[in-house]
Structure 1
Amino acid sequence: MILQNYTREFAYNLKLASPIILGMLGHTFVGFVDNAMVGQLGTAELAAVSLGNSFLFIAMSIGIGFSTAITTLVAEADAEGDTAKVKGALKHGLILCTIIAIIVFVGAIMSKPLMYIMDQPEEVVDLAIPYLNLVAASLIPLIIFQAFKQFADGLSQTKYAMWATLLANVVNIIINYFLIFGIWIFPKWGIIGAAIGTLVSRIVMLVFIWLLLRYKNKFKEYVTNFNFKEIKKSVLKKIISLGFPSSLQMLFEVGIFTAAIWLSGILGKNSQAANQIALNLSSMTFMVAMGLSVAATIRVGNQKGLRRFGELRRIAFSLFLLVLIIDIFFAIMFMVFNNWFPTLYINETDTVNFVDNQEVIMVAGKLLLVAAFFQISDGIQVVGLGILRGLQDVKIPAFITFFAYWMVGFPTSYYLGLHTEYKSAGIWVGLLVGLTVSAILLYIRFNYLSKKLIKNQAIYGVS
C-alpha cells in the first residue's frame, strides 16, 4: 500500500514526460543520424564530428541551462493563475536566450584555435574545423527554440516541442542523405553535408514552434504583442538568478563528458570514435531521465505554488522510483547488446578501414558496459536536479555538481584513462564515479529541503 502511494503517480508522470522525452530523443536522434551516416565514411570523420560537437556541447549547455528558468517561473505562475506573470517570464526569457545564443555562437567560433593545442589527431582537427563553423551557427535557432519549448513545458503543454523536433529530424535525415553521400544531383560533402543538415533542421524547428504557438488560441495571448520597450529588471534578475546556477549545473556535467571526448582524442582517433558511439547511445537513454526531470520541475513547481509540500515530497519520490526502474532496464539492455550497438555506426564491410573499425567496435563495447552501470546514477541525479529546480533551489546543486564532476569524477577519469592500462574504459569509470557522487548528494539535498518545508509549514504555517 505504501508503494502504491508512489506508483499511482507513474501514469501521470509518463503522460507529462512522454512528449518531452520524444522531443529530446529527437534532438539526440539528429546526432545519431549524423554519427551513423558519417561513420560510414571512416573513423577519422566520426572522430571529427565528435571533436567539433564537444565545443558545441559546452556552448549549448550554457544556453539551455538559462532557458530552464522559464519553465520554473511559468509553472509557478500558472499554478497561481497569473497570466501576466506567465507572459512576462516568456518575454524576458526570449530576450536573454537570444543574447546568450549570439554570445555562445561567437564563443564557439573563437574557440577553434584551441583544437590545435589540445594534442588531438591532426587529420581529425582538419576535418572538425569547417564542420564546427556551420554547426555553431545552429546554436542561435536552437537556444531561441528552447525558450519557447520551456515556456510550453511550464504550462504542461509538452507535445508541441515534440512535433517541432520530429519535423526537424525528417529534414535533417533528408539533407544528410543527399549531401553526405552525394546522392542524385547533389555534391558529396561528407561531414559538411551533416553540418548543413543540422543547421537547416534547427531553423525549421524554431520557425515551426513559433507558428504553432502563434496560431493556437490558448497560447496566442502569451506569444503575441510583446512590448520589448517595457523591460522589468526584477524579472530579468529572477531569470538570471535561477538560470545562471542551472546553466552552471549543465555546464559542469556536460563539461566532464566533453573532457572525456578530449581525453579520448589523446589516446587516438579510434578511441575518440568509440567514445562518440558510446556517448551518443548513452545520450539517448539519458533523454528519458531528462524528460522525467523536466516533468519533475513542472510538478514540483506547481505544488510549490499551491504550497502543498507533503504532496510535493510524495510526487518527487514517485519520480525517483520511476527513473530507477526505467534505468535498470536500460542498464540490462546495454549489458546484453554492448557488442552489437556499435555496429550500427560502423561499416563492417569496409575492407580499407577494417582494422580501425574493429578496434572502434571493441572499445565502444567496453565503454557501454561501464555506461550500463552509470544509467542509474545518471537518472537519479538529473531527476534530483529537476526536483530542486522546481523548488527554485539552484545554487547549492551547482556546487554539488561542480564537486562531484570536477573534484571527484574528472581526476579519476584523467588518472585511469591516461596513466593506467584501462585507457578509454578508465575515462568512463571516472564518469561513473562523478555521477554517483552527484546522485547521492542531490538526493540528500532534496530530502533535507522537503522535510524542512513540511516542518516549517506545520509550525509556522509558512515555507
Structure 2
Amino acid sequence: MSLATYTKEFSQNIKLAYPVILGMIGHTLIQIVDKLMVGRLGSAELAAVSLGNSFIFIAMSIGIGFSTAITPIVAEGDAAKDDGQVRSAFHHGLFLCTVLGISMFAIVYFSKPLMHFMGQPEEVIVLAGPYLDWVAFSLIPMIVYQGYKQFADGMSLTKFSMYAIVLANIIHVPINFVLIYGIWIFPKMGIVGAAMGTVISRIVMVLVMHFMLSRKKELDKYFHGFSFSELKKSVIRKIIAIGGPSAMQMLFEVALFTASVWLCGNLGKTSQAANEIALSLATLTYMFAMGFSVTAMIRVSNQRGFNDFRKLIVVARSVFLITILIETVFALLFIVFHAYLPQFFLDTDNGLQAHDNLEVISIASELLIIAALFQLFDGVQAVVLGALRGVQDVKIPMYITFVAYWVFGFPISFYLGQFTKLGAFGVWIGLLAGLAAAAIFLYLRFNFVTQKLVKEELVDR
C-alpha cells in the first residue's frame, strides 16, 4: 500500500487523539506541578515525592490498565448499534473500577513500611510517609474517573475527559500554592499540601465527568436504572478477562520505571531527584503516545465491530506511523535541550542547596539523552498495545511485556546501575533495552494476529 493510504487517516487519528493527549498531559501536569513547587523546598523533598509516587504509579497503572477493558467493549457495541452491550460494559466497568480503587488505596496505605526495606535515605522516608497517606486516598476518585473516561472514549467522545482534566488543573495549581507555601490564612504544609491538592483535584474530575456525561441527551439511556441486581457474572468475567492482562501489561512497564526510582535512590538523593526530573519530562512526551494508543484502541475496536479487518490493519498502521513521526520530534528536542530542561525543576539560586542542585541537573541532563533514544520505542509499544486491546488480544502481549521489561530490561538496569560506574545512566540503559524489546515483539504479535483475522475473513467469504 502507498504512504497516502495511511496518511489520509491522520486527520481522523488526530481528531480522536488530541483531546486524550491534552487530558493525559493534564494528568501529568498535576504531578509535574507538585514536583516544580516541591522542588523549591529542596532535593530531599523532591526525592520524597518521587518515592511516594513510586507506590502510587504502581497502583495507578493497575487501575488505568484494568479500566481500558471498558473501551473496546463499548466501542465494539457502539459500532454494532448494540445499546445493551454498551450499557452493560459501562455499568459493570464502573462498579469494578470503584471496587478496585478502594482496594488500591488500602494496599498502598498499608505498604508504607516497605520504604524502610528499600535502602532509601532516612530523611526521604520521613518526608514521604505523610505525603503517601493522602495521595493513596486520591486513587479512589482517580480510578472511578477512569471508569467514566473509558466509557466516553469507547463512544468516541474523547473531549469530555479533556474538559474534566483542564478544570482539575485550574483548581489544582492555586490549591497547591497556598497549601505548600502557607499563603494567606493557610498553614505551610510542604509536600503534604501538594498531596491534598491532588486529592481535591481528582474528586473534582469525577464530579465534572459524571455531570457532563449524564447531561448529554444521547447518553441519558445509560445513566438511569442502575441496580446491583443487573450485575452479571458473565459480564464481570469478560471485563476481568480483558482488564486483568491489560492491567498487568501496564503494571510491568510502570513497575520497571518505578524500580528505576528505587535503584537511583540506592545511589543517593541526587540520583533519585535527577531520575525523577528525567522521568517527568519523558512521561510528559509519552502522553502523546498514550493518546494515540487510545485512538488505536477505539478505531481498531470499531473496525472489529464492522468485521472489516483489512481496514483495521490500515487504521492501526496509520496510528503507528503518526506516533513515530511525533516521537521523533520529541527525541530531537530532548537531545538539543538536554542541558537546559532540568533547570526548571530546581532553584539554582538557593545557596544552601546549590551543590546538590547542580549535581542533580548534571545527572538529569545525561539521562535525557537516553530518554531521547527510547522515545520511539516507548511510543511504538504503547500504540501497538492499544491496537492489540482493540482486537481484544491481551494475554500473549502480557507475557511479552513481562519478558521484555523484567527478564531483559531490569537485569540490565540493575547490573549497570549498581555494579558499574554508570550509576543512574546505566539504570536508564536498561529501560531503553526493555522498551526496545517490547516494541519489536509486540509489533510482531500484532502483525500475526491481524493477518490471521484477514485469512479467517477470506475463508468465511
Match in the other structure for 1:363: 363
Give the structure 2 partner of residue 112 of structure 1: 112
Any residues of structure 2 matched to 1:34-433 within 5 Å, and which?
Answer: 34-433=34-433
1:327 & 1:78 partners in 2: Cα distance?
31
1:347-397 deviation digits (Å, cap 9, x = unpaired)? 011000000000000000001000000000000000000000000000000
Deviation at 1:223, TM superposition (A): 2.1
Rounded Cα–Cα distance in structure 2 between residues aligned with 1:53 and 1:456: 46
Residue of structure 2 equivalent to 1:440? 440
The structural deviation recorded for 1:220 is 1.6
The residue type equivalent to 2:135 in the other structure is V
Q: Which amino acid aligns with 1:147?
A: G
Q: Output the CA distance in 1 between the equivalents of 2:332 and 2:225.
A: 51
* One-letter amino acid of the structure 1 residue matched with residue 380 of structure 2: I
Distance 1:62 1:391 in 2: 20
Deviation at residue 307 of structure 1 after TM alignment: 0.6
Give the drift of 1:106. 0.4
CA deviation digits over 1:181-220, x for unaligned, max 9?
A: 1112211111011000000000011011011111111222
**Offset, 1:224:** 2.5
**In the aligned structure 2, how far is the partner of 1:380 from the partner of 1:62?**
21
Gaps of 5+ in 2: none
Conserved in 2, the CA contact under 8 Å of 1:214 and 1:224?
A: no
- Please give the alpha-carbon distance, in whole angstroms, between the structure 1 residues aligned to 2:185 and 2:105: 32
What is the CA–CA distance in structure 2 between the aligned matches of 1:224 and 1:165, rounded to whole Å? 25
Q: TM-score, normalised by structure 2?
A: 0.99
Residue range with higher mean Cα deviation, 308-317 or 223-232 = 223-232
CA deviation string 1:416-450 (max 9, x = no partner): 10111110010001000000000000000011111
Shift, 1:456, TM fit: 1.5
Report the 3-state secondary structure (helix = DSSP H, G, I; strand = E; otherwise coil) of the residue aligned with 2:373.
helix
CA drift at 1:460: 2.9
Structure 1 SS opposite 2:68 = helix
Three-state SS of the structure 2 residue aligned to 1:157 is coil
Q: CA RMSD in A?
A: 0.7
Deviation string for 1:121-150 (max 9, x for gaps)? 000000000000000000000000000000
Q: Which residue in 1 is equivalent to 2:3?
A: 3
Code of the aligned partner of 1:211: F
Give structure 1 regions of 4+ aligned residues with deviation exceeding 6 angstroms: none
Give, in whole Å, the separation in 2 of the partners of 1:244 and 1:323.
Answer: 26
Taking the aligned partners of 1:235 and 1:38, their CA distance within structure 2 comes to: 44
Return the offset for 1:222.
1.1
Shift of 1:64: 1.0
For 1:442 and 1:11, the matched residues in 2 are separated by 25
SS in 1 for 2:227: coil
Looking at structure 2, the residues matched to 164 and 218 of structure 1 have their Cα atoms a distance apart, in angstroms, of 19
Q: Distance in 2 between matches of 1:214 and 1:454?
A: 39
Secondary structure of the structure 2 residue equivalent to 1:429: helix
- The one-letter amino acid paired with 1:305 is G
The aligned amino acid for 1:102 is I
Distance in 2 (alpha carbons) for counterparts of 1:115 and 1:395: 32
Instruction: Tell me, yes or no, if the aligned pair for 1:400 and 1:438 is still in contact at 8 Å.
Output: yes
Letter in 1 for 2:183: I
- Aligned-partner Cα distance in 1 for 2:230–2:442: 38
One-letter amino acid of the structure 1 residue matched with residue 358 of structure 2: Q
Structure 1 letter corresponding to 2:87: K
CA separation in 2, counterparts of 1:382 and 1:117? Answer: 32
User: For each residue in 1:13-64, what CA deviation from the matched residue of structure 2 results, as whole angstroms up to 9, or x when unmatched?
Assistant: 0110100000010000001100000000000000000000000111111111
Q: State the identity as a percent.
A: 55
Cα distance in structure 2, aligned partners of 1:173 and 1:210: 22
Whole-angstrom distance in 2 between the partners of 1:243 and 1:299: 18
Alpha-carbon deviation of 1:232?
A: 1.1
| Conserved 8 A contact 1:20-1:291 | yes
**Secondary structure at 2:399 match in 1:** helix
Partners of 1:57 and 1:229 lie apart in 2 by 34
Q: Which runs of 5+ in 1 are unaligned?
A: none
**Equivalent-residue separation in structure 1 for 2:332 and 2:121 (angstroms):** 34
Q: 2:113 is matched by which residue type in structure 1?
A: P
Q: Deviations over 1:151-196 (max 9, x none)?
A: 0000000000110011111111011111111112211111011000
For 2:457 and 2:87, the matched residues in 1 are separated by 30
Aligned residue in 1 for 2:25: 25
- Matched residue type, 2:382: V
**d(CA) in 2 for partners of 1:450 and 1:386?**
14
TM-score normalised over the length of structure 1: 0.99
Q: Once the two structures are superposed, what CA deviation does each residue of 1:275-318 show, in whole Å capped at 9, x if it has no partner? A: 11011111110000000000000000000110100000011110
Partners of 1:319 and 1:161 in 2: CA distance: 21
In structure 2, give the amino acid aligned to 1:387: A
Shift of 1:452: 1.0
Give the Cα separation in 1 of the matches to 2:221 and 2:125. 48
Tell me how far 1:75 sits from its aligned partner. 0.4
- Contact (CA 8 Å) 1:75, 1:154: kept in 2 or not? yes
